[in-house]
Structure 1
Amino acid sequence: MLVCNNADKYLLVDLGFTNCEGFLAPYKGTRYHLNLWRGNTPTNYMELFNLRHSSARNTIETAFGLLKKHWSIIRDPIFFDKKTQIRIINACFILHNFLREEKMEETNLLQEVEQDFMNIEAIDIEDGEDEYILYARSTSKWDEFRDKLAKKMFNDHIGRRSRIRA
């Protein structure tokens, strides 16, 4: 089971998931996908939350799409433990950003890395237990967290809009 002692860390999930500890889902029965927002503005906290949730997920999916083009390890399902999966994804993002900043071709970097690997000994490190998600159960506590977050977002949004009009 994923244990989340506070609301600092959670995964943004789509409408197919339940809103529960560690998984922040959009409101069901409320406009969600970005194409439904063209020409419309949110009228309540649930709509604004869903708009921003959808926008964030779209950005994340675009970033992963870029990574999948370059790094074959994440094109197919990964069967590593969660900690290793996180490290692989972080490494792919770091390499992607490094290549962009250095204006370097992927093949040149891979050749350099391959040479470095040939000069080091393999190290196998076991660093404790891994966390596994066994089940996800909706809780009123997590729904309250989402409501509180959504209402704060909406109040901030309304406050900014009223300052702009003034």
Structure 2
Amino acid sequence: MPGFISPYRGVRYHLNEYKGRPINNRQELFNLRYSSLRSKIESTFGVLKNRFKILFAKPYYPFSTQVDIVIECIILHNYIAIEDPGDELLHEDNFIEDDVGEIANEDEDGVVDFSQTMTQREERDSRNEWRLKRDQITVEMWHDYYNKYHGGDTTDIGM
């Protein structure tokens, strides 16, 4: 990806911060859904890592091979889920911890270095582009949310 959509800073983010409290504005709605999606993705990778131990290993394969391994694990996992819907790994909450001490930009034996060199202007322009995309998504989410739950009144409660 050339960029990254981040949650809004200074706005509730963690799922437990929303328990029993209403959503007050579009930024809170975006952060809630962002956090929910991240939690589901982490849980899914936890299931995959529990099932396929090769995903725990430090990647010494070329990047294209790493991609193939993950895709093949997902295909096998989906096949198991279809053939055995009662599989115990499908019904557990699985979360993975962030890898501590991993070197992000190893550049040996075909392992891809993900660092990119950009000028400060290019970095600023890219951040602004992704913030604009986030804001557009946020407005669309807010309109959908209010059309569904509040009859179309899209006024932010807390603003």
Question: Cα RMSD over matched residues?
Answer: 2.9
Partner in structure 2 of residue 146 of structure 1: 134
Partner in structure 1 of residue 114 of structure 2: 133
CA separation of 1:157 and 1:82: change in aligned 2, threshold 3 A: farther
Distance 2:139 2:63 in 1: 32
Moved more, 134-143 or 45-54: 134-143
Distance 1:79 1:30 in 2: 39
Moved more, 148-157 or 95-104: 95-104
Partner in structure 2 of residue 27 of structure 1: 8
Q: Are positions 1:68 and 2:56 aligned together?
A: no
Using the TM superposition, give the Cα deviation of residue 99 of structure 1 relative to its aligned residue in structure 2, in angstroms.
1.5
Structure 1 unaligned blocks of 5 or more: 5-20, 107-129
Distance 1:27 1:66 in 2: 28
Distance 2:139 2:58 in 1: 37
Structure 2 unaligned blocks of 5 or more: 88-110, 153-159
Partner in structure 1 of residue 67 of structure 2: 86
Using the TM superposition, give the Cα deviation of residue 81 of structure 1 relative to its aligned residue in structure 2, in angstroms.
3.8
Give me the TM-score of the superposition, normalised by structure 2.
0.66
CA contact (8 A) 1:82 1:132 kept: no
Using the TM superposition, give the Cα deviation of residue 43 of structure 1 relative to its aligned residue in structure 2, in angstroms.
1.1
Deviations 1:48-88 (Å, cap 9, x if unpaired)? 00000000011111111011111011113324344332222
Using the TM superposition, give the Cα deviation of residue 151 of structure 1 relative to its aligned residue in structure 2, in angstroms.
1.1
Q: Are positions 1:159 and 2:140 aligned together?
A: no
Superposition misfits of 4+ residues, deviation over 6 angstroms: none
Distance 2:64 2:23 in 1: 38
Distance 1:161 1:34 in 2: 20
Q: Alignment length, in residue pairs?
A: 123
Distance 1:86 1:162 in 2: 43
Q: Which amino acid aligns with 2:71?
A: N
Identity %: 34
Using the TM superposition, give the Cα deviation of residue 28 of structure 1 relative to its aligned residue in structure 2, in angstroms.
1.2
Out of 92, 101, 125, the residue aligned to residue 82 of structure 2 is 101
Distance 1:42 1:83 in 2: 42
